[in-house]
């Protein structure tokens, strides 16, 4: 590979924010004379594909691990469990993220910019502003797409006024109608026809580790929950296989209806904990979570709190 000062990447099973934020960070660095390169840790999903095609640009190169001492920049994640293989031995120069901090440690001081926003790209938007740096049309569309994706067109409880403000301005620069473009992009992401059940549970899947407890929360966006449930038993088998391979205690698979903003969940493993956490019965491995669209805000903290109460 060509020599770069650092590699930039989002989390495993990259979503639109992970891909767009790495590309935008690369451009920001380039403007500052810093020769860094966006890469990715997994397949591009259909939603992100829509964005890249719209712009006529290629996806960042796929990597699976980094060499010892490799300089890296993390966007849209910090937990080592969600990062590149061998991250423990890389040299982390910088993190730009909007998640809680956990399972993260460095040997040296670093740049770390986190804000409790709906999207990493909203933070990057503000970095461009702080630096009085002009935002080009291409980066505007990348950032806008990430914000629409992460906030489900501003309907997620993770959405802040900063995300809304940024999207508004970015839509103008990108010269698109935010609602029209946003819904088209989200709908493109709901085309899951190409995916096998084991791919489906990996499109946007994150592992969380607390003590010896491992839980997995995967999420897909759809316009019809019923269509997905036609393959319920195959999906459950894929989830079971995953849990055996990874020693997962609890697996929550969220099927999120982006038009009604509810999620049907398939829950395997420690369903008792799930039931305590959400005060809802798991029947036939399922529980409907009304108004739930955000893993970060409506699932992970609820599970963590329940685990803490149980003394994990």
Which residues bind to a copy of itself, rule: CB under 8 A?
98-117, 130, 296, 301, 304-305
Q: Which is nearer to a copy of itself, 95 or 152 (CB)?
A: 95
Following DSSP, what letter does each residue of 252-290 receive, concatenated?
A: EEEEEETTTTEEEEEEEE-HHHHHHHHT---BTTEEEET
Nearer residue to a copy of itself within complex by CB, 51 or 307: 307
HSE-CB of 29 using CA atoms within 13 angstroms: 21
Shortest Cβ distance from residue 184 to a copy of itself (Å)?
28
Closest contact distance (angstroms) between CB of 188 and a copy of itself is 27
Beta carbon of residue 82, minimum distance to a copy of itself (angstroms, whole number) = 15
For residues 189 and 203, what is the distance between their CA atoms, to the nearest angstrom?
10
Residue count (the chain): 312
Give the residues across from 283 on adjacent strands: 286
CB 307 within 8 A of CB 250: no
Whether 164 and 179 have beta carbons less than 8 Å apart is answered as: no
Q: How far is the CB of 291 from a copy of itself (least distance, A)?
A: 19
Name the minimum Å distance from CB 46 to a copy of itself.
27
Q: Dihedral (C-alpha) 128, 129, 130, 131: value to the nearest 10 degrees?
A: 50
Contact 19/89 with Cβ under 8 angstroms?
A: no
Nearer to a copy of itself, 46 or 98 (CB): 98
Identity of the residue, 107 or 193, whose beta carbon is nearer to a copy of itself in the bound complex? 107
State which residue, 34 or 54, has the beta carbon closest to a copy of itself.
34
Q: Please, what is the minimum distance in Å from the beta carbon of residue 117 to a copy of itself?
A: 8
CB 120 within 8 A of CB 21: yes
Of 104 and 242, CB closest to a copy of itself: 104
Query: What minimum distance in Å lies between the beta carbon of 143 and a copy of itself?
Result: 18
CB 301 to a copy of itself: min, Å: 6
Contact 86, 63 (CB under 8 A): no
Query: How distant, in Å, are the alpha carbons of 149, 153, 202 from that of 119?
Result: 9, 12, 21
212 class by beta-carbon count within 10 Å (0-12 exposed, 13-18 middle, 19+ buried):
exposed
Residue with tokens 């809304």: 164
Q: Which is nearer to a copy of itself, 115 or 232 (CB)?
A: 115
Q: Token digits for 151?
A: 């906030």
Based on CB atoms, which residue is closest to a copy of itself, 243 or 306?
A: 306
Residue 65 has what DSSP assignment?
B
């Amino acid at each position: 590979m060509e020599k770069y000062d650092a590699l930039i990447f989002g989390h495993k099973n990259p979503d639109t924010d992970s891909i767009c934020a790495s590309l935008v960070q690369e451009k920001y660095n380039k403007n500052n004379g810093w020769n860094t390169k966006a890469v990715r840790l997994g397949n591009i999903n259909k939603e992100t594909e829509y964005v890249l095609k719209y712009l006529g640009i290629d996806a960042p190169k796929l990597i699976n691990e980094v060499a010892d001492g490799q300089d890296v920049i993390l966007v849209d994640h910090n937990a080592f469990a969600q990062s590149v293989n061998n991250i423990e031995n890389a040299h982390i120069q910088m993190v730009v993220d909007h998640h809680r901090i956990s399972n993260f440690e460095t040997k040296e001081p670093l740049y770390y910019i986190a804000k409790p926003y709906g999207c990493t790209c909203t933070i990057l938007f503000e970095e461009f502003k702080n630096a009085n740096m002009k935002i080009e049309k291409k980066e505007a569309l990348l950032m806008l797409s990430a914000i629409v994706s992460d906030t489900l067109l501003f309907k997620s409880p993770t959405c802040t006024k900063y995300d809304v403000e940024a999207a508004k301005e970015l839509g103008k620069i990108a010269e698109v109608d935010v609602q029209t473009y946003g819904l088209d992009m989200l709908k493109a992401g709901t085309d899951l026809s190409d995916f096998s059940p084991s791919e489906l549970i990996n499109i946007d899947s994150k592992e969380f580790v607390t003590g010896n407890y491992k839980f997995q929360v995967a999420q897909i966006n759809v316009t019809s929950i019923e269509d997905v449930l036609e393959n319920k038993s195959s999906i459950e088998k894929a989830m079971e296989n995953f849990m055996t391979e990874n020693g997962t205690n609890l697996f929550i698979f969220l099927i999120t209806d982006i038009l009604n903003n509810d999620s049907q969940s398939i829950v395997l493993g420690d369903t008792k904990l799930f039931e305590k956490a959400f005060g809802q019965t798991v029947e036939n491995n399922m529980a409907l979570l009304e108004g739930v669209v955000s893993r970060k805000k409506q699932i992970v903290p609820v599970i963590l709190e329940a685990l803490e109460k149980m003394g994990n």
